[in-house]
Amino acid sequence: MGDERDRPEDETICFCFGYTREQIVRDFLEHGRSRILEEILAAKRLGACRCAAANPRGT
């Protein structure tokens, strides 16, 4: 995979909800926590997460 710092900011991290690396970092810096992660975890608890199907890497 390489060094995380070498990956592009606009790289899609969450394929279920379309979040990019830049959006996740900005969310964390603005709120002191990741509201995006909270949203993803809440959706996952409700069965609304399809990571394995949506991610082209399959994970």
Specify the number of domains making up the chain: 1
Cα atoms found within 13 Å of the Cα of residue 25, Cβ hemisphere only = 11
> Is 30 within a domain?
yes
Q: In the numeric block, which tokens belong to residue 6?
A: 């070498």
> Is 41 within a domain?
yes
3-state secondary structure of 4: helix
For the whole model, what pTM was predicted? 0.70
Give the residue numbers spanning the domain of 41: 11-54
Instruction: Write the CB contacts of 9 (distance below 8 Å, at least 6 apart in sequence).
Output: 20, 21, 22, 25
List the one residue out of 1, 24, 16 whose CA is nearest residue 52: 16
Query: Tens digit of pLDDT per residue, the chain (59 long)?
Result: 555 667 777 899 888 899 999 999 999 999 999 999 999 999 989 988 787 788 887 65
